[in-house]
Homo-oligomer: A and B are copies of this chain.
């Protein structure tokens, strides 16, 4: 039997392909159920083992659910945004068929304690018809020496991580986050359209790159509408 040796492994490519189909809404668990493992193995011309490795990746991302005897279920039904990832905010929302909207509240180069930062504050949400529903408030501090002239980009349009990767070849890699809760103050209650004192989730993150350099310190406040879903594998 011929083997397909490009020597990039096949299964991540298959996973990407299936992922994009899932995000496009090709499968609905009813009229268009997710295909069986055997069918997919045949479609992609690989063995069932290899196909299963691809499904494993999707399972870990929470895009599918498997259980013995039953068909694989796609799980995109709920409004879920794994905000715990490095895909851009916009990418996440596209999957939800919403139009992303970013309002830049502040974008300037400032010096703090002798170090220069690019300070970016954005209120982000989705456009629904004529109104905008705000979903997050993001306050980012980016070390300027790693990203000179980054202020020239318009981050109402572009993704921060995308620019970091494309223009500076610096790749977000790891994040340490601290989750706390806070009560909505006046400005937050206005932005998110919730009563004063509403409990909100706040995440402080330090994002590092492949070399463990801190490339962003960011505080994100989430609107109550936005459920934060974390998928994680067995840990320590």
Contacts and interface: CB of A to CB of B under 8 A. Distances in A.
Interface stretch (A32-40, A63-71, A115-123): A63-71
Contacts of A81: 236
Interface stretch (A105-113, A136-144, A151-159, A224-232): A224-232
Interface in A47-94: 49, 57, 59-62, 65-68, 80-82, 84-87
Given A177-B229, A224-B180, A84 B235 contact: yes
Contacts of A130: none
Contacts of A236: 61-62, 80-82, 85-87
A162 to B, nearest CB: 13
Given A84-B235, A235-B84, A229 B176 contact: yes
A224 B39 CA distance: 50
A159 to B, nearest CB: 14
Given A87-B236, A236-B61, A176 B68 contact: no
Given A68-B211, A199-B183, A84 B230 contact: yes
Contact of A174 (B86, B179, B197, B232): B232
Question: In which size bucket is the chain A interface?
Answer: 35 or more
B178 A228 contact: yes
Nearest to A200: B181
A234 B174 contact: yes
A201 interface: yes
B235 A62 contact: yes
A228 B202 CA distance: 11
Nearest to A175: B232
A173 interface: yes
Given A61-B234, A179-B230, 17 more contacts: A59-B212, A60-B174, A61-B235, A61-B236, A65-B212, A67-B212, A82-B235, A171-B234, A174-B233, A177-B231, A178-B229, A179-B201, A179-B228, A181-B182, A181-B201, A199-B199, A232-B232
